Structure 1
């Protein structure tokens, strides 16, 4: 701090910081798409539109570049750019997804392709990483809105978010743009419990078509994350994963995207807390009690945040065949977001 005068007296200076700064994500995103530049097997890490322009000069309004730009402009703090060559096959995309496997704190993967074979590879990537404690969600767009319900059923996974219809960005239009803008909105939301139904998308200009009410009902019933124009803005109708069935029967327990966000956040918090307990711990009654207590504290904190309604008393037990392993059993009830309020009136005239 410095002042312009040596004269005795009382002086002050101040700086102004806005409370309404643009949202910035705690978790990172990746974009996988066609890029015709050099090093098609490279992986780029960018934190701003300027860094993106330096790493991957724009090649028009399709493919990888606009997806990355939409994510950055939407407030994602770090984006990993994984190019695939023009005419890429599902195997090319699979190789690009594989380059993302080891990245920590990467939560959303956006793909520019609407081909089912490619999206099945994205599904496999997200499931594989999630099973290895690196939870991932795949965001993608349907090539045609009319084919979105069938594609959603084929994907049928709580880690896949299929968006429709296409949105305009610059001179281009693609449902992948809708997916990228929505992924940015999810990552910059206030919390995992923030109700994403009705979320207004930033970045994209407008939708290329309006979905009829009957088509919209079909989409929502089969796991398509559908969007509509409201007051000149692009708005999410209902935030869904493609998991609408289990064993051939309708099952919406994991259909709400917020449910997956909450589950992932609670499990990540428990793992972080347990890692701290693991250091130097002995397998004895005192340690087991401390682990159960710590798990209770973490679950109570998530209950206070409104992410879970209630939870069971955590149980910690030894594994007879593996003396170095403890089993922590937890159970909790996810606090689902409200999507409807149904009013039943009894009216007397």
Structure 2
């Protein structure tokens, strides 16, 4: 379950500790290798402790484990950055939050910040970096977002404000952090009259824009933004289409759109949610980038495009960084860099993140002999959003 951390304890001299999502794997191993369930545990003095008693006579290696659920971040690698107003907490300080209860303790049980932290965690974020931007009477979102720019492990950032001026700051902050090698996307919720027009003003491949609020909470657009940010941070495959992605913890929406208006919003880069079977689902994961130099351009229309680019570039950068210490800018080193880069690209191709790539080109810089330039070219995989059935029928 998203948002739950399963702590497990293995038993037996040859048993390994099973991971959170390895129950099926362990069942396969058990059937194929003689591992068998068949243990009785005598309760011990501590919670979850006990003495294992074997209830079978057949020789073999037996195992058992305890599982306890805790409201905790998931095992994804990315966290969510949140800037919001609240009464409690120190302004512009970055708080690292992993538990929903910790968010309520630091920022107040009923604060919008605590609510956003909860939504981010239950939707899969491994943790939250939360910054108080001030109070209703005095606030500075720019300073709060600047504090988040220095954080390395954020997959997405969001804020509680639904005002256009603050969302422009959110967009600029995500772009600035990404330019400095701390790649992330921004998620905002706009409460103005014309979200399509505002999305055109943003026109940023790193920005997702919502325009609804939770039912009964007209000022709660930040809750939707945090839920979607958590969903993005938890995405294991950046190439997987987000259409139909469920936002946990959202039981109703402030409004629904007719199909004609829905198409206009999506075409202009506004991400829209709808309720299906009591769950809030993202219709399509679109960014606000719809134009290049004023001309319609759908290259970055799906948010997956920038997620793939960020994943590949960050992966190559980390892989090559390990080779930097003590290296010389000679033919041998450049050949090794090209090989390592190709290995990483092939890894992403096999994972389905890339469709294809060309052999990397590595050369010494003509301006600085201590600089090595690695040139890569790849084609990102595209998510499947529509299937068109063409039928020819003879009666």
Shared topology, TM-score over 0.5? yes
Q: Is the 8 A contact 1:34 1:88 kept in 2?
A: no
Q: Is the 8 A contact 1:139 1:161 kept in 2?
A: yes
- The reply to whether residue 174 of structure 1 matches residue 220 of structure 2 is yes
The alpha-carbon deviation at position 12 of structure 1 amounts to 5.7
The 3-state SS of whatever aligns with 1:286 is helix
- The reply to whether residue 263 of structure 1 matches residue 309 of structure 2 is yes
Counterpart of 2:157 (choices 74, 94, 109) is 109
The alpha-carbon deviation at position 101 of structure 1 amounts to 1.8
- The reply to whether residue 298 of structure 1 matches residue 349 of structure 2 is no
Match of 2:115 in 1: 66
Q: Is the 8 A contact 1:168 1:177 kept in 2?
A: no
What is the number of residues matched between the two proteins?
A: 339
Distance change >3 Å, CA 324–CA 22, structure 1 → 2: closer
1:157-196 counterparts in 2 under 5 A?
157-168=204-215, 174-196=220-242
Relative to structure 2, which stretch is displaced further, 68-77 or 226-235? Answer: 68-77
1: CA distance, partners of 2:232 / 2:391: 36
Q: Is the 8 A contact 1:163 1:176 kept in 2?
A: no
Counterpart of 2:386 (choices 340, 343, 346) is 340
The alpha-carbon deviation at position 24 of structure 1 amounts to 3.5
Q: Is the 8 A contact 1:32 1:96 kept in 2?
A: yes
1: CA distance, partners of 2:271 / 2:247: 13
Relative to structure 2, which stretch is displaced further, 278-287 or 304-313? Answer: 278-287
The alpha-carbon deviation at position 179 of structure 1 amounts to 1.5
Match of 2:65 in 1: 15
Counterpart of 1:26 (choices 77, 90, 102) is 77
- The reply to whether residue 131 of structure 1 matches residue 182 of structure 2 is no
Deviations 1:20-64 (A, max 9, x none): x9954210111111112252333211110121122122244xx32
Distance change >3 Å, CA 85–CA 289, structure 1 → 2: same
Match of 2:281 in 1: 235
Distance change >3 Å, CA 229–CA 336, structure 1 → 2: same
1: CA distance, partners of 2:358 / 2:287: 27
2: CA distance, partners of 1:99 / 1:79: 13
Match of 2:198 in 1: 151
Distance change >3 Å, CA 294–CA 41, structure 1 → 2: closer
Larger CA Rg, structure 1 vs 2:
2
The 3-state SS of whatever aligns with 2:345 is helix
- The reply to whether residue 252 of structure 1 matches residue 298 of structure 2 is yes
2: CA distance, partners of 1:309 / 1:189: 19
When normalised by structure 1's length, the TM-score is 0.90
1: CA distance, partners of 2:346 / 2:306: 19
2: CA distance, partners of 1:122 / 1:219: 21
The 3-state SS of whatever aligns with 1:108 is strand
Q: Is the 8 A contact 1:303 1:310 kept in 2?
A: yes
Match of 2:28 in 1: none
The alpha-carbon deviation at position 99 of structure 1 amounts to 1.0
1:178-217 counterparts in 2 under 5 A?
178-217=224-263
Q: 5+ residue gaps in structure 2? A: 1-10, 12-49
Relative to structure 2, which stretch is displaced further, 173-182 or 41-50? Answer: 173-182
Computed over aligned residues only, the root mean square deviation of the Cα atoms, in angstroms, reads 2.3
- The reply to whether residue 224 of structure 1 matches residue 267 of structure 2 is no
